[in-house]
Amino acid sequence: AQSVTQPDIHITVSEGASLELRCNYSYGATPYLFWYVQSPGQGLQLLLKYFSGDTLVQGIKGFEAEFKRSQSSFNLRKPSVHWSDAAEYFCAVVTGGGNKLTFGTGTQLKVEL
């Protein structure tokens, strides 16, 4: 079955440092992939998505992600992290013939000042 794996449960970075959150997918064809962010006590917010075309996707809040078919990855990046980026980040893949969105287990980001 199609799925995504987020290998890192927790990541800590210093404010101003660069960030890369990993997401690996398991899918035979070209997957449709999303990244969402969840601030404490909130629902999830869409950061960006990949369906086709350019493999480097720009999102909100200065985030970007790169689709790499050879590595089955869709890693999320930000060049300079702000303290307000501390949150939980979820990668997700479209499944169920296009009617379902399956989420990874999430990566909790802590930002040190």
Partner 1 sequence: NAGVTQTPKFQVLKTGQSMTLQCAQDMNHEYMSWYRQDPGMGLRLIHYSVGAGITDQGEVPNGYNVSRSTTEDFPLRLLSAAPSQTSVYFCASSYQSPGQGAGYTFGSGTRLTVV
* CB closer to partner 1 out of 24 and 102: 102
Is the Cβ–Cβ distance between 14 and 112 less than 8 Å? yes
- The three-state secondary structure class of 56 is strand
97 belongs to the binding site for partner 1 (CB under 8 A): yes
Q: With b meaning 16 or more CB within 10 Å and e meaning fewer, what string describes 83-95?
A: eebbbbbbbbbbb
Among 21, 23, 32, 63, which residue interacts with partner 1 (rule: CB under 8 A)?
Answer: 32
Shortest Å distance, C-beta 88 to partner 1: 9
Hey, which residues does 111 pair with through a beta bridge? 13
Q: How far is the CB of 48 from partner 1 (least distance, A)?
A: 9
Please report, as residue ranges, which positions from 35 to 94 form the binding site for partner 1 (by CB under 8 A): 36, 41-46, 49, 51, 90, 94
